Chain A
Amino acid sequence: MTWLWSNLDLVGELILVHLALSVPAIILSFVISVPIGWLAHRYAWSRGVLLSLCALLYAIPSLAMFVALPPITGLGLRSPVNLVIALTLYGIAVIVRTAADAFDSVASDVRQSATALGYSAAGRFWGVELPLAGPVLLSGLRVVVVSTVSLATVGAVIGVQSLGSLFTDGFQRGIEAEIITGIVATILLALLLDWLCVMAGRLLMPWSGPRRSRRPALSDVRSIEADPA
């Protein structure tokens, strides 16, 4: 604890650096994966190809990926951008699979009804398929949030600053408290971001929240009426 109190500034700064690495990677991987996942869901051939590629990508050990990327991207080994790209790739590998499952989970009856009501292909995607796929997409995003925050620490061994620097520094100087602080801070950060995702999910998808009873209570009905979204 003494270590933590005297190094509070350092930990705070590293938390911000860590966020700057993991949050862009999480957002990028989500934005890139949803269309790819939709494509994987749409055609049988693309499903096999895309999901196999993702499985291969996911099998690559992280440290090897961090080292093998710079020659491809032309960035330096210690560049944070290099790490963000690697984390994004891992995120894509996970979310594409979930996104394909998420779009599969939309009943074809619903899709046909939307078409019958006159939705265009694009309108059906934004207005019907995406919201209905939302809860499953969210579960995939939550997995990626937790694993990205944890994986970002690995960059510390090749010299990219993050909460992982507490592990390398603590190991080299033999400070147990520093490593434990790093582990706790990483887990708390992952849980915080996970919680934010859950909250965002409840805001954006009020229908998917936890159900207290079978019949919606009066207050729930009001809130549904009050919120046209």
Chain B
Amino acid sequence: MNLFLDGIAWILDPANWSGPGSIPQRLWEHVSITALVLVIASAIALPVGAVIGHTGRGREPAVRVSGGLRALPTLGVLTLFGIWLGIGLAAPIIALVILAIPPLLAGAYAGFESVDRRTIDAARAVGMLESQIVGKVELPLGMPIVVGGIRSATLQIIATATLAAYVANEGLGRFIFEGLKTRDFPQMLGGSILVIILALVIDGLFAVIQRLVVPAGVRASRTRELRSRPTRSRAVVGQPIIEGNQK
């Protein structure tokens, strides 16, 4: 436990709060990279996921891609782009975007797909245009699951951005790698504690958002907590599961 006190003492040391490479600067780098990557990846994955969920077309390849990418080792992707593009921000950002796409895609199509077909048929029957169905029916109803996907993606980005400090001079991960190089364990631990706090705070924030986006009409009838669904389907009673990714 003494080691933890050393780590906390390192965080509280005023010397680490100013100058180049200070805690506020690294924290800002970490948060801004996470936000940038999230925006880029969302711009790619959310519309695609919405189209897949709305039309039901291309579901198979989407499930396969989002399930298969889980096997992709993040460190491998980071280092590979690291040698291709050299030291700098481009390599980690591209790698992070690639790794953030699967959870976003899965959240988007699962969210749009989760809307009861009868609700959509009813919307069509009262004369709503296809664009209105997407914007006014499917999006609000599927929103908690879409936000769940954004939540998983954000946590994934924060974690991988820590690792990205291995190939680029950015983020809270620098403290871990600098501490490793200079055998300064309090610094490593302090950096780790900061990363953990950041991740838990962001996760808590998303938990609140996820509750807030549930439409009032749905909230009344639903009590179970909605989180991002796994990309693999679950068995339903009386219907044996068919091999992982299919169905």
Contacts and interface: CB of A to CB of B under 8 A. Distances in A.
A131 B17 CA distance: 56
Contacts of A158: 180
Given A71-B1, A154-B163, A179 B76 contact: yes
Nearest to A164: B75
A150 interface: yes
A67 B192 contact: yes
Contacts of A182: 73, 76
Interface of A: 55-56, 58-65, 67-68, 70-71, 77, 98, 101-102, 105-107, 135-136, 138-139, 142-143, 146-147, 149-150, 153-154, 156-159, 163-164, 167-168, 170-171, 174, 176, 179-180, 182-183, 186-187, 190-191, 194, 198, 207-208, 210-211
B213 interface: no
Nearest to B230: A143
Contact of A105 (B158, B189, B193, B234): B234
Contacts of A176: 80, 83-84
A71 B71 contact: no
B243 interface: yes
Contacts of A143: 70, 230, 232
Interface in B195-214: 195-196, 199-200, 203
Nearest to B70: A146
B241 A136 contact: yes
Contacts of A211: 240, 242
B189 A183 contact: no
B236 interface: yes
Interface of B: 1, 3-4, 7, 70-80, 82-84, 155, 158-159, 162-163, 166-167, 173, 176-177, 180, 185, 188-189, 191-193, 195-196, 199-200, 203, 227, 230, 232-238, 240-244
B173 A63 contact: yes
Contacts of A168: 75, 79, 166
B199 A139 contact: no
A63 B192 contact: yes
B76 A167 contact: yes
B180 A61 contact: no
B192 A68 contact: yes
The interface centre, meaning the residue of B75, B159, B235, B240 with most chain A CB atoms within 10 A of its CB, is B75
B70 A139 contact: no
A202 to B, nearest CB: 10
B162 A61 contact: yes
A105 B235 contact: yes
Contacts of B1: 71
Contacts of B163: 62-63, 154, 157
Contacts of B203: 55-56, 59
A208 B155 CA distance: 34
B66 to A, nearest CB: 12
